[in-house]
């Protein structure tokens, strides 16, 4: 890994700055070439750093911010009135070229608004997309986008999302010709809303993309596709429904394991089995949704991320910076525009 600088929004998220600082500390240990910029309340950051003196002063810098974007803040209002927030500060460092990427666990809507306003979308990209990966059969993963950046997508936006998801799968997952699909309510060509049918025709005619057609919700986990494209409304609902189900199952296992002495013993004996299952579906390891299509790298961590989960988001940002994902997307979108003209 080359020298990299990441700007972190220390104040974002539900679990307090110490979670993010603890993840930062782990990241500095894991990546010797990493430099971090801590954007947030200097007092809070300093008092944490005093208890963790093993971090070399050369490895980080602190930028004090007077404001903090709250989870309940309206995105438009945050954009207008919170210019001195830790979130705006982290994005500004990417905009100025002082950081290669930024990571925030704060308010998604505000992060999207600020990132669009400060970084701007790449030429030829209508709207940025929120993308994340999910586990599939055979231990692989699938990129799902959009997850909520654009609630309703037209056919062109879906096509651009297919290109952008394809770049991520190539660069981050190392898949040579990623299989790209559109999420729909059936595999037949005649199904679905108009935008999806139009996007289907555009993708089928496109030579850049390895397009495989429509897939259904249960195919997300089937290892049928490497990239699944959908509008922000359905994508968000698919992702969150699955998260909700995983939470329900984990609670169920925990409660079952406490039913009686026999259950406790069984759970103890089966712990490695249950642990492997948990690790497989644990949303933490799929943490780090990226906001792509912008002139800079912005990674969004879950609001209630643990330090391990936030560390995954940092790793994602590092990978995208190393692979120069925005440049690759820019090139592919340019090819797309040329193909059309």
For the chain, how long is the longest CA-to-CA vector? 71
Q: Which helix (H) or strand (E) holds 60?
A: strand 60-64
Decide whether 4 or 253 has the Cβ nearer to a second copy. Answer: 253
Examine residue 106 and tell whether it contacts a second copy (CB under 8 A): no
Does 47 engage in binding with a second copy (CB under 8 A)? no
Among 1, 201, 205, 269, contact with a second copy (rule: CB under 8 A): 269
Is residue 221 a contact residue for a second copy (CB under 8 A)?
yes
User: Among 41-49, 170-178, 206-214, 228-236, which window interacts with a second copy (CB under 8 A)?
Assistant: 228-236
The residues that bridge with 129 in the sheet, in sequence order, are 292
**Nearest-approach distance from CB 333 to a second copy, in angstroms:** 26
Distance CA 22, CA 278 (A): 23
Report how far residue 210's alpha carbon sits from residue 69's, in angstroms, rounded to the nearest whole number: 40
Judged by CB under 8 A, does residue 248 bind a second copy? yes
**Contact yes or no for 221/134 (Cβ under 8 A):** yes
Residues linked to residue 104 through DSSP beta bridges, in sequence order:
300
257 binds a second copy (CB under 8 A): yes
Q: Look at residues 204, 108, 192 and name the one whose alpha carbon lies nearest to residue 150.
A: 108
Comparison of 44 and 274: residue with beta carbon closer to a second copy = 274
Provide the minimum distance between the beta carbon of 240 and a second copy in the complex, in angstroms, as a whole number: 3
The residue range among 18-26, 53-61, 115-123, 213-221 that interacts with a second copy, by the rule CB under 8 A, is: 213-221
d(CA 57, CA 143): 37
CA of residue 158 relative to chain centroid, distance? 18
Q: Which is nearer to a second copy, 240 or 340 (by Cβ)?
A: 240
| DSSP calls for 254-316 | HHHHTSSHHHHHHHHHTHHHHHHHHHHH-GGGG--EEEESBSS-EEE--TT--HHHHHHHHHH
Residue 245 contacts by C-beta under 8 Å, 6 or more apart in sequence? none
Residue of the chain from 9, 219, 226, 320 that contacts a second copy (CB under 8 A): 219
Q: What angle do CA 109, 77, 239 make, to 5 degrees?
A: 10
Interacting span for a second copy (CB under 8 A) from 19-27, 57-65, 259-267, 294-302:
259-267
Q: Which span sits near a second copy by CB under 8 A: 36-44, 54-62, 248-256, 293-301?
A: 248-256
Looking at beta carbons only, is 56 or 260 nearer to a second copy? 260
In the complex, the residues that contact a second copy under the rule CB under 8 A are 74, 109, 135-137, 148, 151-152, 183, 185-186, 188, 190-193, 216-222, 230, 232-234, 236-249, 251-253, 256-257, 263, 266-267, 269-270, 272-274, 276-277, 280-281
């Amino acid at each position: 890994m080359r020298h990299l600088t990441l700007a972190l929004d220390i104040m974002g998220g539900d679990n307090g700055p110490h979670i993010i600082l603890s993840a930062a500390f782990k990241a500095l240990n894991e990546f010797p070439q990493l430099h971090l910029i801590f954007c947030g309340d200097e007092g809070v950051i300093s008092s944490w750093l005093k208890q963790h003196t093993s971090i070399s002063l050369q490895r980080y810098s602190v930028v004090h911010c007077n404001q903090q974007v709250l989870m309940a803040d309206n995105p438009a209002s945050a954009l207008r009135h919170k210019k001195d927030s830790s979130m705006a500060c982290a994005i500004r460092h990417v905009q100025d070229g002082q950081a290669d990427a930024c990571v925030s666990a704060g308010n998604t809507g505000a992060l999207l608004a600020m990132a669009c306003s400060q970084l701007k979308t790449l030429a030829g990209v209508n709207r940025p997309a929120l993308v994340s990966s999910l586990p599939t059969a055979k231990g692989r993963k699938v990129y799902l986008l959009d997850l909520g950046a654009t609630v309703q997508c037209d056919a062109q936006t879906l096509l651009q999302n297919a290109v952008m998801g394809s770049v991520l799968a190539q660069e981050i997952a190392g898949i040579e010709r990623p299989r790209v699909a559109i999420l729909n309510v059936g595999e037949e060509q005649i199904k679905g809303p108009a935008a999806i049918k139009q996007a289907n025709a555009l993708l089928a005619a496109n030579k850049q993309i390895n397009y495989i057609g429509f897939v259904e919700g249960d195919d997300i986990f089937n290892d049928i596709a490497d990239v699944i494209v959908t509008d922000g409304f359905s994508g968000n609902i698919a992702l969150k429904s699955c998260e909700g189900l995983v939470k329900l199952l984990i609670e169920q296992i925990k409660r079952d394991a406490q039913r009686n002495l026999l259950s406790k013993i069984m759970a103890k004996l089966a712990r490695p089995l249950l642990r492997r299952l948990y690790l497989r579906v644990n949303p933490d390891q799929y943490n780090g949704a990226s906001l792509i299509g912008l002139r800079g790298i912005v990674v969004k961590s879950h609001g209630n991320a643990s330090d391990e989960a936030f560390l995954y988001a940092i790793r994602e940002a590092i990978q995208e910076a190393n692979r120069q994902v925005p440049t690759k997307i820019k090139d592919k979108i340019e090819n797309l525009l040329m193909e059309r003209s």
